[in-house]
Amino acid sequence: MTTAMQRPPLVRSGDRMIAGVCSGLADHLGWPVKYIRLGMVLASFAGGAGVVFYAWLWVMVPTADESARRNSRRPASPIAPAVSMPPSVGMPPDVAAPDAGAQPLPLYAPAPVVASWFKLKRIQYGKEILLGAGLLLVAAILIARQFGVEVPLGTLIPAAAILGGAAIAWMQLDETRRAGLVDKTKADQAGGWVRLAAGLTLVVAGVLVMVSGSGSWEQTWLALLASIAVLGGVALVLLPWGLKFWKDLETERAARVRETERAEIAAHLHDSVLQTLALIQRRAGSEQDVVRLARAQERELRTWLYRDAAKDSGLLAERIAAAAAEVEDAHGHPVDVVSVGDAAMTDRHEALVLAAREAMHNAARHGGGAVSVYLESSDSGSEVFVRDRGPGFDPDAVPEDRLGVKESIIGRMKRHGGTAVIDSSSEGTEVRLKLPVENADKAENRNGDAKA
């Protein structure tokens, strides 16, 4: 299996005669192309097998482009590992047969450790190998019959039914476990139950035919009734134990989940809150430091507690909040952010964030009291208001060489089609930044449902 992993993925190559199948296969197997092509042509004379094989690969194997577009986590083609074992007709059946018997066993591994190891190593290939082995077996039987060897079909078919049914049921088991790991909703289980039922039916039918041997209906019915009675009795006796066992298992699992959660919370609190409290005790003399530490910790804890998992980062509101946090840390001055609506980030919004950050820096540096930041995004554009309670200043009296206000706020907003107004009085200063939406931006605006 590991050798298959190290091989280049099976894709149809661009260097093609017909569809790139042969050269792709050659790359994948590391054989010269001409032998593959020759083999394919020769196989075509053997009852057209080569043509069929070629067509099958053509349909099933993606081109290099398609493969690149896929998730790189998976092998290039789900069937690639199966075809990496050339299904040459000459393969002796005694090699294929034990394979088919041995393969389901690892699938059944119940311990989680084994399961996770198994998932890593083999999960992508289990089914394909099983399928391939089964097909090989069928092919071998057919060939053997052609050569006149007497094959006891009467035993082989029920055996195959049992094996196939068991495989189907076990695959189902494995898949529910995987689904349970991925998300707990366990959606799409109906199909799973159908498969389980199909598997069971196959196995039961196989066993019955095998046991009754003759295949006469009367005997089969009797056997069926007897086995149902026995199974029912056993189930009745074992049911209480089974239920108890299941309950214990559920309790234990819930406890483990709680324990994991608790450990995560403890780890987080240790890294953040406890560290900050220790720092605060050591810095108790400096009020400014204590306030700054407490404020930063509060912000961090709040984000952790109330973070909105549905909200993806990189949106305007998040960026403004991040800028406010940065200013708060830099100046040890509280900056309160209130945001209404949100917008996707563009280059222009980037400019808005930078201008707002500059305004917040100024407010924290020169203003007194808390700095209030208000962001409103709607279909018509985004507005940011930064307000402080400082003594105020005259924007026209700011010297030309001071670039903070002129360049970073007003100039930047103008260059990106927005406006910046500074309203300063003795009771405080408010910087109003406005970025009207561009027509092209309209689609990206996220505030639709708040307005509808």
Question: What are the residues binding another protein (CB under 8 A)?
Answer: 302, 305-306, 310, 336, 338-341, 370, 372, 374, 376, 378, 385, 387, 427, 430, 447, 449-452
Smallest distance from the beta carbon of 368 to another protein, in angstroms?
A: 13
Q: Hey, what amino acid is at 419?
A: T
Task: Closer to another protein by CB, 64 or 294: give it.
Answer: 294
**Distance in angstroms (rounded) separating the CA atoms of residues 404 and 422:** 13
**Distance in angstroms (rounded) separating the CA atoms of residues 281 and 95:** 73
Smallest distance from the beta carbon of 70 to another protein, in angstroms?
A: 34
Of the candidates 200, 142, 146, the one whose C-alpha atom is nearest the C-alpha of residue 170 is 200
**389 neighbors 368 (Cβ within 8 angstroms):** yes
Smallest distance from the beta carbon of 306 to another protein, in angstroms?
A: 5
Task: Closer to another protein by CB, 397 or 452: give it.
Answer: 452
Task: Closer to another protein by CB, 244 or 302: give it.
Answer: 302
Smallest distance from the beta carbon of 258 to another protein, in angstroms?
A: 19
Smallest distance from the beta carbon of 383 to another protein, in angstroms?
A: 9
Smallest distance from the beta carbon of 274 to another protein, in angstroms?
A: 18
Of the candidates 70, 75, 54, the one whose C-alpha atom is nearest the C-alpha of residue 127 is 75
Buried/exposed code over 311-331 (b: 16+ C-beta within 10 A; e: otherwise)? eeeebbbbbbbebbbebbeeb
Residue 423 bridge partners (DSSP) = 430
**Distance in angstroms (rounded) separating the CA atoms of residues 207 and 164:** 12
Task: Closer to another protein by CB, 229 or 265: give it.
Answer: 265
Task: Closer to another protein by CB, 13 or 339: give it.
Answer: 339
Task: Closer to another protein by CB, 276 or 447: give it.
Answer: 447
Smallest distance from the beta carbon of 359 to another protein, in angstroms?
A: 13
**Distance in angstroms (rounded) separating the CA atoms of residues 367 and 96:** 81
Residue spans of alpha helices (H) in 7-152: 21-29, 33-45, 49-60, 64-69, 80-83, 93-102, 104-107, 112-146
Residue 211 bridge partners (DSSP) = none
Q: Which long-range contacts (CB under 8 A, 24 or more apart) does 276-285 make?
A: none
What angle is formed at CA 113 by the lines to CA 112 and CA 116, rounded to 5 degrees?
80
**369 neighbors 415 (Cβ within 8 angstroms):** no
Task: Closer to another protein by CB, 366 or 451: give it.
Answer: 451
Task: Closer to another protein by CB, 44 or 297: give it.
Answer: 297
Smallest distance from the beta carbon of 198 to another protein, in angstroms?
A: 40
